[in-house]
Amino acid sequence: MHFLRIAFAALLLIAPLSQSFADEPAKEPAKDAAKDTTKDTKPPPPEYKETTGSVTVGGRAIDYQAVAGTLTVHAKGWDDAVAAKADKDATPNPTAEAEMFYVYYAKRGVKPSERPVTFLFNGGPGSSTVWLHMGAFGPKRVLTPDDKHPAAAPYPFVSNIYSLLDISDLVFIDAPGTGFSRITGKDKEKEFFGIDPDARAFAEFITLFMSKHGRWNSPKYLFGESYGTTRSAALINILENERGVDFNGVILLSQILNFDNSADAPQLNPGIDLPYQLVLPTFAATAWYHHKLGDGKKELKPLLEEVEAFAMTDYAAALNEGGLLAGDKRKAVIDKLHDYTGLSRDYIAKSNLRINVGQFMKTLRNESDVTVGRLDTRFAGPTIDPMSREADYDPQSSAISSSYISNFNNYVRTELKYGAGKTYRPETDVSPWDMRHQPPGTTDAWAKTGNVMPDLANAMKTNPNLKVLLNAGYYDLATPFFEGIFEMRHLPIPEGLRSNIQFHFYESGHMVYAHEPSLKELHDTVADFIRKTDNLPAQ
């Protein structure tokens, strides 16, 4: 789905619609496919559709104009002067380009300079933005059961009383190769599938969009979810320090900025034990939700504070001892892990005190052959292979995907009047995704696990007015909430800038908006953040 699909080295955390290809080696493209790639022709002129609508939020009707269309962005090295002059002596432009699809909702009758605009995107990488569009802030919303698999179509689809259109105009963007976005030209995958080329594509898209729709002097925000938070950190630094465009705020939902912190497969990165510490509070929250901790742990938040303290002290010390940990010290840590996770002492001991996400999903309710969710651990479903070591699928992904995708395909064609004869790709296989990243102040891309914490820090230092809002769900194993806290605590910024970061947590999962009370809370939190940072006169 819209969540993370990459992690340490070649590991891909999530594949399209819950089918993991984490254990598959990166494959070289077939010769015929490579040949076809170099001969791609440009697509026909893009569609551009305008419609109108109205949505009621907070008891007030908002009339809006909707635009569905694409903008063309180019690979690194493209020069519009060369393209305009067709100079035979100039270095030719790269042929790779992307038609990036977007849906833009703007309140009618308001000057652009008097209205914030928020650019929203999901992540993956390889995900479209159907999830935020249909589940969170668009004018229409999918209804799904809180933590159950819904019945098949027809799926409920309603006017969204939690749309963010009450406070900001909205631009939902599909990454290159996803949704209705298409890539063409020589080496097109290489030119768009990676941390840095992806961020450059979004930077070009946003600047083109602001010119086309007159939004240069509007208060501006980024809203990224999951890998979209990784993108946001790299993107805001490019926008501010290469394109000269300050933003008012960056809104992060289900954050991961440093992939060394992922708990999906830390066993492939021995000696780096921090992921086990950062995921432990989410294990505890999940065990608490599924009544695996007994009657002594009745309040969630005090429990999480206790587990966070243990994770960063006694548990950290035990992991640091490695193979030297033994005797009563080892037994004491095993007892605590049992108390906090609900897993058996024997299982914890055999796992060497280190349990990854897939193991926990499969094992927590193993006695009843039930697997809990990864994106939202409140969900649970039948275990596919009772003999497997780790979970084989994500029950939440399987539960909600069809309703989102079906409703969007109908909505975009019938109400937005876009996409006739085209295929909407909710997920695209973008492997191998290039995890090399060139941090600010360096001259080369680093061939190591992606870490964009320096990018966000650099953007905050060069624009000390930039505000950041981190949102996270307690029941998210894909990007555990404590991981986001840890990353923000370790951003290399001056102490005076730490007050620019706000936190908000929800009793929901990765897609916090899939839980309606959390969606309302998310709307109110984000609206308040924008209202306080948009620099507009008070109304």
Tell me: the pLDDT tens digits for 440-479? 877 776 666 689 999 999 999 999 999 999 999 999 999 9
CB crowding 481-512: b at 16 or more within 10 Å, else e: bbbbbbbbeebebeeebeebbbebbbbbbbbb
Averaged pLDDT, 278-302:
92
Handedness of CA 85, 86, 90, 94 (dihedral sign): positive
CATH 3.40.50.1820 domain span(s) along the chain: 16-30+51-260+401-533
Average pLDDT value for the chain: 88
Q: Is there a cis peptide before residue 197, judged by omega within 30 degrees of 0?
A: no
Averaged pLDDT, 179-185:
95
135-147 pLDDT per residue, tens: 999 999 998 777 7
What does pTM read for this prediction?
A: 0.90
CA angle, corner 54, sides to 48 and 55, nearest 5?
120
Q: Which residues pair with 187 in a beta bridge?
A: none
CB crowding 355-367: b at 16 or more within 10 Å, else e: bbbbbbbbbbbee
358-376 pLDDT per residue, tens: 999 999 998 889 999 999 9
Q: What CATH homologous superfamily does 16-30+51-260+401-533 map to?
A: Alpha/Beta hydrolase fold, catalytic domain (3.40.50.1820)
pLDDT band at 292 (very low <50, low <70, confident <90, very high): very high
